[in-house]
A and B are shown apart, each in its own frame.
Chain A
Amino acid sequence: MEERPYRSASGAPIALRHRQHSASCRELAVRCPRLQLRSLSAVTSAVWLAAYGLFVLSENSMVLSAAIFITLIGLIIYLHFVKIDQESLLVIGSLGIQVTSSYASGKESTTFIEMGQVKDVVINEAIHMQKVIYYLCILLQDPGDPQGVSEVVPLFQSSKPRLDCLIEVYKSCQEILEQRKTAPQSS
């Protein structure tokens, strides 16, 4: 089990942890950069300065308490719904792929895709907000149409690792996905 530092698409430092549980089970977890103290204090000071300016203009002290309330509620909502702490990918050969995102407040959201639906795991490049980025995605297939791609599930959306990290995750996944071609078909 190693943890190696990489960079995200915007330059922030991220870390990839690669664990091999067994011959056909791998877990790859990407840890996103933590919430910076300087950005938190910058946003809080901006909101409170604006509220103080409003208070000076309107002489209403409710503005100040409302600003404190908004800051607290906003921080809680941000930590619980927006700020992702770690994204992990668990590949179990012949069973499926599990994608977990854990938020900064401790909430975890999990998606499981069974192996029959998985066509391939590929590195795709696409235009995203005036940039062209590489991102890892799972191609899903319709059981009735093994040649076509029915859906694309992008992975590591909030950490957005760069190509070197993605290549490592890709090679790891391909080693397991190749096993299902050589393994005897059970259904």
Chain B
Amino acid sequence: ENSPAPLPERAIYGFALFLGSWFGFMLYLIWAYVPETWLFSLGLTYWPQKYWAVALPAYLLVSIGIGYILLFGINMMSTAPLNSTHTVTDNYAKKHQQKKFQEEAIPALRDIPISEVNRMFFLPEK
């Protein structure tokens, strides 16, 4: 159904994107380098200022750099602090199973409370 194999439609999309991106790049070069008077004589008087041909790439690069730092900061901010209950449990933790323990059957799936885990790890004498 959803395989990444090449298909004829995908080849056409790829070629259309390839032509489109080359066209966009050539248009950007023409806008940045061709003098304004030549553009006016061709009748293209309402194109944006050439200032933006330099400003937009600069804005983009600074945004990418800030994005790295921003992502790092957002990660640090959404880490639960040491005194929050989210380090111990959450709304989806299954409560104690009420089923009785049957011999030779796999026990029911549940979240083991942290007190029990601690007792198992740290209390037995070596």
Contacts and interface: CB of A to CB of B under 8 A. Distances in A.
A123 interface: yes
B114 A124 contact: yes
B87 A171 contact: no
A126 interface: yes
Question: How extensive is the interface on chain B, given as a class?
Answer: 10 to 19
Interface stretch (A14-22, A91-99, A151-159): A151-159
Interface in A133-187: 135, 137, 139, 147, 149-154, 157, 167, 170-171, 174
B118 A135 contact: no
Chain A contact surface mostly = strand
Contact of B88 (A124, A129, A167): A124
B89 A149 contact: yes
Interface residues of A, number: 24
A171 B118 CA distance: 10
Interface stretch (B28-36, B41-49, B76-84, B98-106): B76-84
Nearest to A135: B82
B115 interface: yes
Given A135-B82, A152-B83, 12 more contacts: A122-B114, A122-B115, A122-B118, A123-B118, A137-B82, A137-B83, A147-B96, A150-B85, A152-B84, A152-B88, A157-B82, A167-B122
Interface of A: 119-120, 122-124, 126-129, 135, 137, 139, 147, 149-154, 157, 167, 170-171, 174
Given A123-B118, A128-B82, A151-B85, A171 B123 contact: yes
B50 interface: no
Contacts of A137: 82-83
B95 interface: yes
Interface of B: 76, 79-80, 82-85, 87-89, 95-96, 114-115, 118-119, 121-123
Contacts of B96: 147
The 10 closest A-B pairs by CB, nearest first: A120-B115, A126-B87, A154-B82, A122-B118, A167-B122, A122-B114, A152-B83, A127-B79, A154-B83, A149-B85
Nearest to B79: A127
Contact of A171 (B89, B95, B122): B122
Contacts of A124: 87-88, 114
18 contacts: A122-B114, A124-B87, A128-B82, A135-B82, A137-B82, A137-B83, A139-B115, A149-B85, A150-B85, A151-B83, A152-B82, A152-B83, A152-B88, A154-B82, A170-B122, A171-B122, A174-B119, A174-B123
A152 B115 CA distance: 13
Contacts of B76: 129
Nearest to A163: B122
Contacts of A119: 115
A86 B55 CA distance: 56
A152 B82 CA distance: 8
